[in-house]
Chains A and B, each alone.
Chain A
Amino acid sequence: MSTFSLLKLINVSFGFSYHDYVVEGVSLEIPKGRFVSIVGPSGAGKTTLLKIISGIHEPWYGYVEFIDDEGIPLHYIPSIGYVPQIETIDWNFPVSVQEVLAMGSWNYKSYLPWIDKKLKQQIKDILKILGLDSYGSRHIRELSGGEQQRVFLGRALIRNPEILILDEPTTGLDYLSREKIFEILKNLNNNGMTIILSTHDITNIAKRSPWVICFNKSMISEGYPRDVLKETTLLQTFGLPDYKTLSRKDND
Protein backbone atom coordinates (compact mmCIF):
# COMPACT_ATOMS: atom_id res chain seq x y z
CA MET A 1 0.00 0.00 0.00
CA SER A 2 1.47 3.35 -1.03
CA THR A 3 1.82 6.05 1.59
CA PHE A 4 1.32 9.78 1.22
CA SER A 5 4.14 12.03 0.15
CA LEU A 6 2.29 15.33 0.11
CA LEU A 7 -0.62 16.80 2.05
CA LYS A 8 -2.48 19.43 0.05
CA LEU A 9 -5.21 21.85 1.09
CA ILE A 10 -6.82 23.49 -1.91
CA ASN A 11 -8.79 26.68 -1.30
CA VAL A 12 -10.31 25.31 1.91
CA SER A 13 -13.01 27.32 3.70
CA PHE A 14 -14.99 26.34 6.78
CA GLY A 15 -17.14 27.90 9.48
CA PHE A 16 -19.69 27.07 12.16
CA SER A 17 -22.44 29.44 11.09
CA TYR A 18 -23.45 30.77 7.68
CA HIS A 19 -21.30 33.50 6.11
CA ASP A 20 -18.98 33.42 9.11
CA TYR A 21 -15.77 31.73 8.08
CA VAL A 22 -13.36 30.47 10.68
CA VAL A 23 -10.96 29.27 7.99
CA GLU A 24 -11.08 31.01 4.64
CA GLY A 25 -9.50 30.14 1.29
CA VAL A 26 -6.55 28.19 2.66
CA SER A 27 -4.22 26.55 0.18
CA LEU A 28 -1.07 24.92 1.42
CA GLU A 29 1.21 21.96 0.84
CA ILE A 30 2.99 19.95 3.50
CA PRO A 31 5.46 17.35 2.23
CA LYS A 32 5.96 14.10 4.13
CA GLY A 33 8.52 14.37 6.93
CA ARG A 34 8.10 18.11 7.51
CA PHE A 35 7.88 19.64 10.99
CA VAL A 36 5.41 22.52 10.77
CA SER A 37 4.35 25.00 13.43
CA ILE A 38 1.16 26.91 12.73
CA VAL A 39 1.38 30.24 14.53
CA GLY A 40 -1.50 32.55 15.27
CA PRO A 41 -3.42 34.24 18.06
CA SER A 42 -6.28 32.60 20.00
CA GLY A 43 -9.38 32.43 17.85
CA ALA A 44 -7.36 32.47 14.62
CA GLY A 45 -8.82 29.14 13.52
CA LYS A 46 -5.68 27.07 14.12
CA THR A 47 -7.55 24.28 15.91
CA THR A 48 -10.22 24.26 13.21
CA LEU A 49 -7.54 24.02 10.53
CA LEU A 50 -5.97 21.04 12.33
CA LYS A 51 -9.39 19.40 12.60
CA ILE A 52 -9.98 19.90 8.87
CA ILE A 53 -6.66 18.20 8.12
CA SER A 54 -7.56 15.38 10.55
CA GLY A 55 -10.92 14.83 8.90
CA ILE A 56 -13.13 15.91 11.83
CA HIS A 57 -14.52 18.87 9.90
CA GLU A 58 -15.54 18.59 6.28
CA PRO A 59 -14.59 21.81 4.41
CA TRP A 60 -17.49 23.92 3.10
CA TYR A 61 -15.45 24.73 0.04
CA GLY A 62 -12.21 23.31 -1.31
CA TYR A 63 -10.73 19.98 -0.33
CA VAL A 64 -7.92 18.16 1.45
CA GLU A 65 -5.82 15.67 -0.48
CA PHE A 66 -3.13 13.20 0.46
CA ILE A 67 -0.96 12.49 -2.57
CA ASP A 68 1.32 9.48 -3.09
CA ASP A 69 4.84 9.34 -4.59
CA GLU A 70 3.47 9.22 -8.12
CA GLY A 71 1.29 12.29 -7.64
CA ILE A 72 -1.95 10.31 -7.39
CA PRO A 73 -4.43 11.28 -4.65
CA LEU A 74 -4.95 8.55 -2.05
CA HIS A 75 -8.49 7.30 -1.55
CA TYR A 76 -7.96 7.04 2.21
CA ILE A 77 -6.62 9.27 4.99
CA PRO A 78 -3.18 8.12 6.20
CA SER A 79 -2.91 7.16 9.86
CA ILE A 80 -3.03 10.30 11.99
CA GLY A 81 -2.10 10.62 15.64
CA TYR A 82 -3.96 13.52 17.25
CA VAL A 83 -3.06 15.27 20.50
CA PRO A 84 -5.90 17.59 21.60
CA GLN A 85 -5.57 20.66 23.79
CA ILE A 86 -5.41 19.16 27.26
CA GLU A 87 -7.71 21.92 28.55
CA THR A 88 -10.57 20.13 26.78
CA ILE A 89 -10.09 16.88 28.72
CA ASP A 90 -12.36 15.83 31.60
CA TRP A 91 -9.75 15.00 34.23
CA ASN A 92 -12.35 13.40 36.51
CA PHE A 93 -12.98 10.62 34.00
CA PRO A 94 -12.02 7.36 35.76
CA VAL A 95 -9.18 6.22 33.50
CA SER A 96 -5.59 5.33 34.26
CA VAL A 97 -2.54 6.38 32.24
CA GLN A 98 -2.38 2.87 30.78
CA GLU A 99 -6.02 3.05 29.66
CA VAL A 100 -5.53 6.46 28.03
CA LEU A 101 -2.58 5.14 26.04
CA ALA A 102 -4.49 1.99 25.08
CA MET A 103 -7.28 4.13 23.58
CA GLY A 104 -4.96 4.88 20.67
CA SER A 105 -5.46 1.33 19.45
CA TRP A 106 -9.10 0.82 20.35
CA ASN A 107 -10.57 1.23 16.89
CA TYR A 108 -9.25 -1.97 15.41
CA LYS A 109 -8.23 -4.22 18.26
CA SER A 110 -10.58 -6.89 19.57
CA TYR A 111 -13.99 -6.20 21.06
CA LEU A 112 -12.94 -7.69 24.40
CA PRO A 113 -12.99 -4.99 27.09
CA TRP A 114 -9.56 -5.65 28.58
CA ILE A 115 -6.08 -4.66 27.40
CA ASP A 116 -4.21 -7.66 25.98
CA LYS A 117 -0.62 -8.65 26.84
CA LYS A 118 0.90 -7.41 23.58
CA LEU A 119 -0.66 -3.97 23.97
CA LYS A 120 0.39 -3.82 27.63
CA GLN A 121 4.00 -4.38 26.54
CA GLN A 122 3.67 -1.75 23.81
CA ILE A 123 2.33 0.74 26.37
CA LYS A 124 5.23 -0.05 28.70
CA ASP A 125 7.72 0.66 25.92
CA ILE A 126 6.10 3.97 25.02
CA LEU A 127 5.91 5.06 28.67
CA LYS A 128 9.64 4.38 28.90
CA ILE A 129 10.33 6.55 25.85
CA LEU A 130 8.21 9.32 27.35
CA GLY A 131 9.97 9.06 30.72
CA LEU A 132 6.81 7.89 32.49
CA ASP A 133 7.85 4.28 33.25
CA SER A 134 6.16 3.90 36.62
CA TYR A 135 2.99 5.90 35.88
CA GLY A 136 0.90 3.23 34.09
CA SER A 137 -1.59 2.51 36.86
CA ARG A 138 -2.01 6.11 38.05
CA HIS A 139 -5.19 8.09 37.47
CA ILE A 140 -4.57 10.77 34.82
CA ARG A 141 -5.54 13.57 37.19
CA GLU A 142 -2.61 12.66 39.46
CA LEU A 143 -0.07 13.74 36.84
CA SER A 144 1.40 17.20 36.24
CA GLY A 145 0.45 19.19 33.12
CA GLY A 146 3.64 18.22 31.31
CA GLU A 147 3.21 14.54 32.18
CA GLN A 148 -0.42 14.59 31.05
CA GLN A 149 0.64 16.13 27.75
CA ARG A 150 3.18 13.34 27.28
CA VAL A 151 0.51 10.71 28.01
CA PHE A 152 -1.67 12.12 25.22
CA LEU A 153 1.35 12.24 22.95
CA GLY A 154 1.93 8.56 23.79
CA ARG A 155 -1.67 7.73 22.92
CA ALA A 156 -1.24 9.38 19.53
CA LEU A 157 1.97 7.43 18.94
CA ILE A 158 0.75 3.97 19.87
CA ARG A 159 -0.15 3.09 16.28
CA ASN A 160 3.01 4.66 14.90
CA PRO A 161 1.11 7.20 12.77
CA GLU A 162 2.41 8.76 9.56
CA ILE A 163 1.26 12.21 10.62
CA LEU A 164 1.27 13.59 14.16
CA ILE A 165 -1.02 16.56 14.80
CA LEU A 166 -0.77 18.48 18.07
CA ASP A 167 -3.05 21.30 19.19
CA GLU A 168 -1.16 23.76 21.40
CA PRO A 169 1.03 21.03 22.94
CA THR A 170 3.03 23.36 25.16
CA THR A 171 0.35 25.71 26.49
CA GLY A 172 0.49 26.05 30.26
CA LEU A 173 3.68 23.99 30.59
CA ASP A 174 6.82 25.05 32.42
CA TYR A 175 10.16 25.44 30.63
CA LEU A 176 11.44 21.91 31.33
CA SER A 177 8.19 20.20 30.28
CA ARG A 178 8.13 22.27 27.10
CA GLU A 179 11.70 21.33 26.30
CA LYS A 180 10.98 17.65 26.92
CA ILE A 181 7.98 17.68 24.56
CA PHE A 182 9.94 19.57 21.90
CA GLU A 183 12.84 17.12 22.19
CA ILE A 184 10.51 14.11 21.75
CA LEU A 185 8.89 15.76 18.71
CA LYS A 186 12.29 16.52 17.15
CA ASN A 187 13.34 12.88 17.58
CA LEU A 188 10.11 11.64 16.02
CA ASN A 189 10.57 14.01 13.10
CA ASN A 190 14.19 12.88 12.65
CA ASN A 191 12.79 9.36 12.28
CA GLY A 192 10.57 10.52 9.42
CA MET A 193 7.28 11.38 11.10
CA THR A 194 5.38 14.38 9.70
CA ILE A 195 4.53 16.78 12.52
CA ILE A 196 1.98 19.58 12.38
CA LEU A 197 1.37 21.59 15.53
CA SER A 198 -0.42 24.78 16.43
CA THR A 199 1.07 27.23 18.87
CA HIS A 200 1.09 30.82 19.93
CA ASP A 201 4.45 30.34 21.60
CA ILE A 202 6.67 32.12 19.09
CA THR A 203 9.86 32.30 21.05
CA ASN A 204 10.17 28.76 22.35
CA ILE A 205 8.43 26.63 19.75
CA ALA A 206 7.76 28.36 16.44
CA LYS A 207 11.18 30.02 16.23
CA ARG A 208 12.87 26.63 16.69
CA SER A 209 10.62 24.74 14.27
CA PRO A 210 12.04 23.91 10.86
CA TRP A 211 8.99 25.39 9.07
CA VAL A 212 6.45 27.97 10.20
CA ILE A 213 3.02 28.98 8.94
CA CYS A 214 1.59 32.28 10.14
CA PHE A 215 -2.16 31.93 10.20
CA ASN A 216 -5.12 34.05 11.10
CA LYS A 217 -8.30 32.77 9.47
CA SER A 218 -6.29 32.50 6.25
CA MET A 219 -2.65 32.01 5.34
CA ILE A 220 -0.49 35.04 6.13
CA SER A 221 2.93 33.63 5.33
CA GLU A 222 4.98 30.44 5.44
CA GLY A 223 8.62 29.52 5.33
CA TYR A 224 11.72 29.17 7.50
CA PRO A 225 11.30 30.87 10.90
CA ARG A 226 14.03 33.41 10.19
CA ASP A 227 12.21 34.50 7.02
CA VAL A 228 8.67 34.44 8.40
CA LEU A 229 8.79 35.54 12.02
CA LYS A 230 9.34 39.20 11.28
CA GLU A 231 7.62 42.26 12.61
CA THR A 232 5.39 42.93 9.63
CA THR A 233 4.21 39.31 9.37
CA LEU A 234 3.61 39.01 13.11
CA LEU A 235 1.69 42.28 13.14
CA GLN A 236 -0.42 41.00 10.30
CA THR A 237 -0.94 37.67 12.07
CA PHE A 238 -1.64 38.86 15.56
CA GLY A 239 -3.07 42.22 14.58
CA LEU A 240 -2.06 43.88 17.82
CA PRO A 241 0.41 46.72 18.29
CA ASP A 242 1.78 44.89 21.36
CA TYR A 243 3.33 42.34 19.09
CA LYS A 244 5.68 44.99 17.70
CA THR A 245 7.62 44.72 20.92
CA LEU A 246 7.41 40.95 20.99
CA SER A 247 8.52 40.48 17.42
CA ARG A 248 11.36 43.01 17.89
CA LYS A 249 12.56 40.90 20.80
CA ASP A 250 12.26 37.80 18.63
CA ASN A 251 14.35 39.35 15.89
CA ASP A 252 17.10 40.41 18.30
Chain B
Amino acid sequence: MIDFFSPFQYEFFIKGIIVSVLLGGICGLVGVYVVLRGLAYVGHGLSHAAFGGAIISSIGGMNFYVGAILWSYLASFVIHEISKRNKIKPDAAIGLVTTAIFAFGVLIVSMTDRYTRNFESLLFGNVLSITDQDLYIIILITILSGLFFFLFHKRLVFTFFDNESAKISGIKTYYVELLFSFVLATVIIASMSSIGVTLLAAVIVGPAISARLLSNNFTNVILSSVAIGIVACFFGMYFSFFLDSSSGPTIVMFVTLGFGLSVLYATLKKIYHSHRHGDLTHSHVHVHVDKHRHEH
Protein backbone atom coordinates (compact mmCIF):
# COMPACT_ATOMS: atom_id res chain seq x y z
CA MET B 1 0.00 0.00 0.00
CA ILE B 2 1.18 3.53 -0.82
CA ASP B 3 2.24 5.52 2.23
CA PHE B 4 0.96 9.01 1.39
CA PHE B 5 3.08 10.57 4.10
CA SER B 6 6.30 8.87 3.08
CA PRO B 7 7.63 11.86 1.06
CA PHE B 8 7.56 14.02 4.20
CA GLN B 9 10.33 12.00 5.83
CA TYR B 10 12.80 13.48 3.33
CA GLU B 11 14.29 16.88 4.00
CA PHE B 12 14.61 17.68 0.29
CA PHE B 13 10.89 17.03 -0.17
CA ILE B 14 9.84 19.27 2.74
CA LYS B 15 12.09 21.99 1.32
CA GLY B 16 10.50 21.42 -2.10
CA ILE B 17 6.98 21.64 -0.70
CA ILE B 18 7.79 24.90 1.13
CA VAL B 19 9.26 26.37 -2.04
CA SER B 20 6.35 25.19 -4.20
CA VAL B 21 3.71 26.60 -1.86
CA LEU B 22 5.49 29.96 -1.58
CA LEU B 23 5.98 30.22 -5.33
CA GLY B 24 2.45 29.03 -6.07
CA GLY B 25 1.09 31.78 -3.82
CA ILE B 26 3.26 34.59 -5.12
CA CYS B 27 2.89 33.55 -8.80
CA GLY B 28 -0.88 33.40 -8.26
CA LEU B 29 -0.81 36.91 -6.82
CA VAL B 30 1.45 38.50 -9.43
CA GLY B 31 -0.45 36.68 -12.19
CA VAL B 32 -3.68 38.58 -11.46
CA TYR B 33 -1.98 41.90 -12.16
CA VAL B 34 -0.11 40.48 -15.18
CA VAL B 35 -3.34 39.27 -16.78
CA LEU B 36 -5.20 42.48 -16.03
CA ARG B 37 -2.31 44.48 -17.47
CA GLY B 38 -2.75 42.44 -20.66
CA LEU B 39 0.79 41.06 -20.48
CA ALA B 40 0.15 37.33 -20.28
CA TYR B 41 3.24 36.68 -22.39
CA VAL B 42 5.59 38.68 -20.18
CA GLY B 43 6.22 35.84 -17.72
CA HIS B 44 7.38 33.64 -20.55
CA GLY B 45 9.58 36.35 -21.99
CA LEU B 46 11.19 37.57 -18.78
CA SER B 47 11.99 34.05 -17.62
CA HIS B 48 13.91 33.53 -20.86
CA ALA B 49 15.76 36.81 -20.37
CA ALA B 50 16.62 35.85 -16.79
CA PHE B 51 17.85 32.48 -18.03
CA GLY B 52 20.19 34.14 -20.51
CA GLY B 53 21.58 36.40 -17.79
CA ALA B 54 21.86 33.60 -15.26
CA ILE B 55 23.99 31.35 -17.43
CA ILE B 56 26.21 34.19 -18.61
CA SER B 57 26.91 35.24 -15.02
CA SER B 58 27.53 31.61 -14.03
CA ILE B 59 30.06 31.23 -16.82
CA GLY B 60 31.63 34.54 -15.82
CA GLY B 61 32.10 33.16 -12.31
CA MET B 62 29.47 35.43 -10.76
CA ASN B 63 26.51 34.46 -8.60
CA PHE B 64 23.67 32.95 -10.63
CA TYR B 65 21.18 35.52 -9.29
CA VAL B 66 23.29 38.59 -10.15
CA GLY B 67 23.11 37.98 -13.90
CA ALA B 68 19.50 36.88 -13.77
CA ILE B 69 18.46 40.06 -11.95
CA LEU B 70 20.55 42.38 -14.11
CA TRP B 71 19.39 40.91 -17.41
CA SER B 72 15.73 40.55 -16.55
CA TYR B 73 15.61 44.10 -15.11
CA LEU B 74 17.29 45.35 -18.25
CA ALA B 75 14.76 43.43 -20.36
CA SER B 76 11.87 44.83 -18.26
CA PHE B 77 13.17 48.35 -18.70
CA VAL B 78 13.74 48.01 -22.45
CA ILE B 79 10.27 46.45 -22.98
CA HIS B 80 8.72 49.23 -20.90
CA GLU B 81 10.51 51.96 -22.82
CA ILE B 82 9.86 50.49 -26.28
CA SER B 83 6.15 50.10 -25.63
CA LYS B 84 5.86 53.58 -24.06
CA ARG B 85 7.78 55.53 -26.64
CA ASN B 86 7.06 53.72 -29.87
CA LYS B 87 4.17 52.35 -31.85
CA ILE B 88 5.21 48.81 -30.93
CA LYS B 89 2.91 46.96 -28.56
CA PRO B 90 4.41 45.39 -25.41
CA ASP B 91 3.87 41.78 -26.58
CA ALA B 92 5.91 42.42 -29.74
CA ALA B 93 8.66 44.08 -27.70
CA ILE B 94 8.65 41.13 -25.27
CA GLY B 95 8.93 38.69 -28.18
CA LEU B 96 12.09 40.26 -29.54
CA VAL B 97 13.91 41.62 -26.48
CA THR B 98 13.62 38.59 -24.23
CA THR B 99 14.29 36.03 -26.95
CA ALA B 100 17.37 38.00 -28.02
CA ILE B 101 18.73 37.91 -24.45
CA PHE B 102 17.89 34.21 -24.15
CA ALA B 103 19.60 33.51 -27.49
CA PHE B 104 22.66 35.41 -26.36
CA GLY B 105 22.87 33.22 -23.24
CA VAL B 106 22.53 30.04 -25.30
CA LEU B 107 25.14 31.32 -27.76
CA ILE B 108 27.62 31.83 -24.94
CA VAL B 109 26.89 28.36 -23.51
CA SER B 110 27.37 26.76 -26.93
CA MET B 111 30.79 28.40 -27.22
CA THR B 112 32.07 27.26 -23.84
CA ASP B 113 32.03 24.15 -21.69
CA ARG B 114 32.48 26.04 -18.42
CA TYR B 115 28.81 26.01 -17.50
CA THR B 116 28.42 23.85 -14.41
CA ARG B 117 24.92 24.44 -13.07
CA ASN B 118 22.24 21.98 -14.17
CA PHE B 119 21.06 23.41 -17.48
CA GLU B 120 17.98 21.20 -17.67
CA SER B 121 16.74 22.05 -14.19
CA LEU B 122 16.62 25.72 -15.17
CA LEU B 123 14.68 24.98 -18.33
CA PHE B 124 12.18 22.50 -16.93
CA GLY B 125 12.39 22.99 -13.17
CA ASN B 126 13.60 20.63 -10.51
CA VAL B 127 13.00 21.22 -6.85
CA LEU B 128 15.81 18.81 -6.03
CA SER B 129 18.23 21.39 -7.38
CA ILE B 130 17.08 23.97 -4.80
CA THR B 131 19.87 24.94 -2.43
CA ASP B 132 19.50 26.50 1.02
CA GLN B 133 20.52 29.81 -0.51
CA ASP B 134 17.71 29.46 -3.09
CA LEU B 135 15.23 28.71 -0.31
CA TYR B 136 16.15 31.83 1.69
CA ILE B 137 16.02 33.98 -1.42
CA ILE B 138 12.57 32.61 -2.32
CA ILE B 139 11.27 33.30 1.22
CA LEU B 140 12.65 36.86 1.10
CA ILE B 141 11.27 37.56 -2.39
CA THR B 142 7.85 36.18 -1.44
CA ILE B 143 7.65 38.46 1.60
CA LEU B 144 8.88 41.58 -0.24
CA SER B 145 6.70 41.00 -3.31
CA GLY B 146 3.65 40.36 -1.14
CA LEU B 147 4.35 43.62 0.69
CA PHE B 148 4.70 45.47 -2.61
CA PHE B 149 1.30 44.28 -3.84
CA PHE B 150 -0.28 45.05 -0.47
CA LEU B 151 1.00 48.63 -0.49
CA PHE B 152 0.69 49.37 -4.21
CA HIS B 153 -2.59 47.56 -4.88
CA LYS B 154 -4.67 50.74 -5.37
CA ARG B 155 -2.13 52.42 -7.60
CA LEU B 156 -1.66 49.28 -9.71
CA VAL B 157 -5.39 48.74 -10.15
CA PHE B 158 -6.04 52.36 -11.20
CA THR B 159 -3.01 52.39 -13.53
CA PHE B 160 -3.96 49.15 -15.24
CA PHE B 161 -7.67 49.96 -15.40
CA ASP B 162 -7.47 53.49 -16.76
CA ASN B 163 -3.89 54.63 -17.23
CA GLU B 164 -4.52 58.17 -18.40
CA SER B 165 -7.08 59.03 -15.73
CA ALA B 166 -4.69 57.61 -13.13
CA LYS B 167 -1.97 59.89 -14.46
CA ILE B 168 -4.25 62.95 -14.34
CA SER B 169 -5.22 61.93 -10.82
CA GLY B 170 -1.59 62.33 -9.79
CA ILE B 171 -0.38 58.72 -9.82
CA LYS B 172 3.13 58.36 -11.21
CA THR B 173 2.01 55.67 -13.62
CA TYR B 174 5.40 55.38 -15.34
CA TYR B 175 7.14 54.45 -12.08
CA VAL B 176 4.26 52.26 -10.86
CA GLU B 177 4.47 50.19 -14.07
CA LEU B 178 8.26 50.06 -14.04
CA LEU B 179 8.33 48.99 -10.39
CA PHE B 180 5.73 46.33 -11.18
CA SER B 181 7.93 45.03 -14.03
CA PHE B 182 10.91 44.77 -11.67
CA VAL B 183 8.87 42.95 -8.99
CA LEU B 184 7.56 40.58 -11.66
CA ALA B 185 11.09 39.93 -12.91
CA THR B 186 12.20 39.22 -9.33
CA VAL B 187 9.38 36.70 -8.78
CA ILE B 188 10.28 35.03 -12.07
CA ILE B 189 13.93 34.71 -11.05
CA ALA B 190 12.89 33.16 -7.75
CA SER B 191 10.70 30.63 -9.57
CA MET B 192 13.13 29.63 -12.33
CA SER B 193 14.97 26.81 -10.61
CA SER B 194 11.95 24.95 -9.29
CA ILE B 195 9.33 25.56 -11.98
CA GLY B 196 11.55 26.09 -15.00
CA VAL B 197 11.99 28.80 -17.60
CA THR B 198 9.85 27.15 -20.24
CA LEU B 199 6.97 26.36 -17.88
CA LEU B 200 6.81 29.40 -15.66
CA ALA B 201 4.35 31.39 -17.77
CA ALA B 202 1.61 28.80 -17.12
CA VAL B 203 2.07 29.05 -13.34
CA ILE B 204 1.82 32.85 -13.47
CA VAL B 205 -1.09 33.11 -15.89
CA GLY B 206 -3.00 29.86 -15.15
CA PRO B 207 -4.21 30.52 -11.58
CA ALA B 208 -5.08 34.12 -12.46
CA ILE B 209 -7.29 33.29 -15.46
CA SER B 210 -8.86 30.41 -13.53
CA ALA B 211 -9.70 32.77 -10.66
CA ARG B 212 -11.04 35.39 -13.07
CA LEU B 213 -13.61 32.85 -14.25
CA LEU B 214 -14.78 32.34 -10.67
CA SER B 215 -15.50 35.92 -9.65
CA ASN B 216 -15.98 39.54 -10.73
CA ASN B 217 -14.75 40.81 -7.37
CA PHE B 218 -11.09 41.87 -7.31
CA THR B 219 -10.41 40.65 -3.76
CA ASN B 220 -12.00 37.28 -4.51
CA VAL B 221 -10.00 36.99 -7.75
CA ILE B 222 -6.76 37.60 -5.85
CA LEU B 223 -7.63 35.17 -3.04
CA SER B 224 -8.76 32.47 -5.49
CA SER B 225 -5.70 32.91 -7.70
CA VAL B 226 -3.34 32.61 -4.72
CA ALA B 227 -5.26 29.56 -3.45
CA ILE B 228 -5.23 27.86 -6.88
CA GLY B 229 -1.52 28.59 -7.25
CA ILE B 230 -0.73 27.13 -3.81
CA VAL B 231 -2.90 24.02 -4.27
CA ALA B 232 -1.62 23.31 -7.81
CA CYS B 233 2.02 23.74 -6.80
CA PHE B 234 1.56 21.64 -3.66
CA PHE B 235 -0.03 18.73 -5.52
CA GLY B 236 2.31 19.10 -8.47
CA MET B 237 5.27 18.79 -6.15
CA TYR B 238 3.65 16.01 -4.11
CA PHE B 239 2.76 13.84 -7.12
CA SER B 240 6.09 14.43 -8.82
CA PHE B 241 7.54 12.37 -5.95
CA PHE B 242 5.31 9.36 -6.69
CA LEU B 243 5.47 9.73 -10.46
CA ASP B 244 9.22 10.24 -10.34
CA SER B 245 8.69 13.19 -12.69
CA SER B 246 10.14 16.71 -12.88
CA SER B 247 8.37 19.07 -10.52
CA GLY B 248 7.86 21.84 -13.12
CA PRO B 249 5.80 19.90 -15.69
CA THR B 250 3.79 18.16 -12.94
CA ILE B 251 2.92 21.53 -11.38
CA VAL B 252 1.86 22.87 -14.80
CA MET B 253 -0.44 19.85 -15.25
CA PHE B 254 -2.17 20.67 -11.95
CA VAL B 255 -2.45 24.36 -12.90
CA THR B 256 -4.10 23.27 -16.16
CA LEU B 257 -6.43 20.97 -14.24
CA GLY B 258 -7.37 23.94 -12.03
CA PHE B 259 -8.18 25.95 -15.14
CA GLY B 260 -10.29 23.11 -16.53
CA LEU B 261 -12.29 22.92 -13.29
CA SER B 262 -12.81 26.71 -13.33
CA VAL B 263 -14.12 26.57 -16.90
CA LEU B 264 -16.50 23.79 -15.84
CA TYR B 265 -17.65 25.80 -12.80
CA ALA B 266 -18.18 28.94 -14.88
CA THR B 267 -20.20 26.98 -17.44
CA LEU B 268 -22.37 25.32 -14.80
CA LYS B 269 -22.84 28.67 -13.06
CA LYS B 270 -24.23 30.11 -16.26
CA ILE B 271 -26.70 27.26 -16.55
CA TYR B 272 -27.56 26.91 -12.84
CA HIS B 273 -28.11 30.51 -11.95
CA SER B 274 -28.84 31.52 -8.34
CA HIS B 275 -31.56 34.09 -7.89
CA ARG B 276 -34.04 35.43 -5.40
CA HIS B 277 -37.78 35.34 -4.92
CA GLY B 278 -38.32 37.61 -1.93
CA ASP B 279 -36.35 36.06 0.94
CA LEU B 280 -35.85 32.76 -0.86
CA THR B 281 -32.60 32.22 -2.76
CA HIS B 282 -32.32 29.14 -4.94
CA SER B 283 -30.54 27.70 -7.97
CA HIS B 284 -31.98 25.83 -10.91
CA VAL B 285 -31.51 25.45 -14.62
CA HIS B 286 -32.02 28.96 -15.89
CA VAL B 287 -33.44 29.47 -19.34
CA HIS B 288 -33.98 33.01 -20.46
CA VAL B 289 -37.29 33.21 -22.27
CA ASP B 290 -37.83 36.91 -22.62
CA LYS B 291 -35.57 39.43 -20.90
CA HIS B 292 -35.46 38.38 -17.23
CA ARG B 293 -38.45 36.08 -17.19
CA HIS B 294 -37.43 32.45 -16.78
CA GLU B 295 -38.94 29.01 -16.65
CA HIS B 296 -38.90 26.89 -13.47
Complex contacts, A94 vs chain B, CB 8 Å: 36, 212, 215-218, 221
Instruction: Name the residue of chain A whose CB is nearest to the CB of B161.
Output: A93
Instruction: Name the residue of chain A whose CB is nearest to the CB of B220.
Output: A94
Cα distance A88–B162 in the bound complex, in angstroms: 8
Q: Which of B228-268 contact A (CB under 8 A)?
A: none
Instruction: Name the residue of chain A whose CB is nearest to the CB of B165.
Output: A82
Complex contacts, A96 vs chain B, CB 8 Å: 216-218
Residue contact B152 to A111, C-beta cutoff 8 Å: yes
Given contacts A106-B154, A106-B155, A139-B216, A89 and B162 within 8 Å (CB-CB): yes
Complex contacts, B151 vs chain A, CB 8 Å: 111, 113
Q: Which of A175-203 contact B (CB under 8 A)?
A: none
Complex contacts, B110 vs chain A, CB 8 Å: none
Given contacts A80-B168, A111-B152, A103 and B161 within 8 Å (CB-CB): yes
Shortest CB-to-CB span from A24 to chain B, Å, is: 21
Cα distance A107–B171 in the bound complex, in angstroms: 5
Shortest CB-to-CB span from A135 to chain B, Å, is: 14
Is B157 among interface residues, defined by CB-CB distance under 8 A?
yes
Q: Which of A25-75 contact B (CB under 8 A)?
A: 51, 54-56
Residue contact A113 to B150, C-beta cutoff 8 Å: yes
Residue contact A109 to B154, C-beta cutoff 8 Å: yes
Complex contacts, B150 vs chain A, CB 8 Å: 113
Q: What string of 1s and 0s marks CB contacts (under 8 Å) between A105-139 and chain B?
A: 01111010100000000000000000000000001
Residue in contact with B161 in the complex, picked from A54, A56, A90, A111, CB distance below 8 Å:
A90
Residue contact B221 to A108, C-beta cutoff 8 Å: no
Is A95 among interface residues, defined by CB-CB distance under 8 A?
yes
Cα distance A54–B168 in the bound complex, in angstroms: 6
- Report B's interface with A, CB cutoff 8 A: 36, 150-155, 157-158, 160-162, 164-171, 212, 215-218, 221
- Report A's interface with B, CB cutoff 8 A: 51, 54-56, 80, 82, 84, 88-90, 93-96, 99-100, 102-104, 106-109, 111, 113, 139, 141, 155-156
